[in-house]
Structure 1
Amino acid sequence: MSTFWWSSMENHRKIHWIACDRLCLTKDQGGLGFKDIELFNQALLAKQAWRLIHYPNCLFSRFMKSRYFNDMPFMLADYGKRPSFAWRSILHERALLEKGLNQRVGDGVSLKVWTSLWLEDDRIRAPLMKNILVDLELSVHELINQDTRDWCPTALEEHFFH
């Protein structure tokens, strides 16, 4: 970055009037207000990971899914065989994306009660089981009264502790 800002010709070194870390400080802090390239790159890669989740039918998502995570959700995907630099970079920034992700219940159709991480108290987790025999395919949708769009108390008492 310094070479870009302070050199006028290739292979000619010039004086770096301001250190790289100062270039990225805001103007009121005495810098030039440039973006931190590394943080900006992380944000762009995390955005690509977010696009894989939110736009599963776009060309980019379909291509990446067919190539790297055809039989699993993106958040569980691994590097696979012969990963590209782009795929490795996106997976590396998936951790950054996970810090800001929240899964909303909505109508509850896409959430499985026992296998999805959908409760948030001190950490995101699945609920505690009342019975040891449970239907793993039970969706959150089945615990919601569709007329009132509120929780169904009898269904909750059947499956969960008070």
Structure 2
Amino acid sequence: MTMPTYAMSCFKLPVRLCKDINSLMARFWWGEENGQTKMHWVSWKTLSTGKQAGGLGFKYLQSFNKALLGKQIWRLLTCPDLLLSKVLKARYYPKTTLFNCEIKGNASWIWKSLMSAREVMQCGARKQIGNGNNTRIWEDAWLLEGKDGKIESSKPPG
């Protein structure tokens, strides 16, 4: 289970590959040995239940892949002084935010992979106000409650 974790934190794995890896894990537990099929002691749902709840903690690879990519997006947001953060910002969103940038056709596979998890991160991410200089109160998601974390009332004219 740990072998694909590093690759999954950088790249979005194809759906077919995730299914193949799940199939290999299932065959290990339920396949055959010396021409005889193995006993199915528990269901896959039980195997994928968390360890604290009595399962073995196997993960659904597609969801786990998206979570790891979301973690990388979180690092870009919270650690803007990292070299990787600076390079990606300069290349893909120099004049906008990570959540508002366009995904261009000539973007790298890494960037496209990260952007596949952007929606998940956008649902829960909120801007920290700080001194308020960089906050656009009508456009940014900064409220803990409400629709999308944004102000629901209309913007006043002027």
With the shorter chain as reference, the TM-score category is 0.5 to 0.7
1:44 CA displacement: 0.9
1:74 equivalent in alignment to 2:95: no
> 1:91-134: per-residue Cα shift (whole Å, max 9, x none)?
1111111121122322212213455444565323356444x32x
Tell me, in whole angstroms, the C-alpha distance in 1 between the residues paired with 2:50 and 2:97: 39
Q: Which residue of 2 aligns with 1:111?
A: 135
Higher relative contact order (CA 8 A, sep 6+): 2
Verify the 8 A CA contact 2:139 2:150 in the aligned structure 1. Answer: no
Name the stretch that deviates more: 72-81 or 110-119. Answer: 110-119
Count of residues paired in the alignment: 128
Indicate whether 1:99 and 2:120 are aligned: no
Question: Is 1:2 aligned to 2:30, yes or no?
Answer: no
RMSD (Å), alpha carbons:
3.0
Asked which structure has the greater CA Rg, the reply is: 1
Structure 2: which 5+ residue stretches go unaligned? 1-21
Shift of the 95–114 alpha-carbon distance from structure 1 to 2, 3 Å rule, reads: closer
1:31 Cα offset (Å) = 3.7
Q: Percent identity over the alignment?
A: 28
Q: 1:33 to 1:120 in 2, by over 3 A?
A: closer
The 5 Å alignment of 1:9-88 reads 14=32, 15=37, 17=40, 20-26=44-50, 31-88=55-112
CA contact (8 A) 1:2 1:20 kept: no
Deviation track 1:68-112 (CA, whole Å, cap 9, x = no partner) reads: 222221111121131222211211111111121122322212213
Question: How far off its partner does 1:62 sit?
Answer: 1.6
Asked if the contact 2:126–2:143 (Cα under 8 Å) also holds between the matched residues in 1, the reply is no
Match of 2:114 in 1: 90
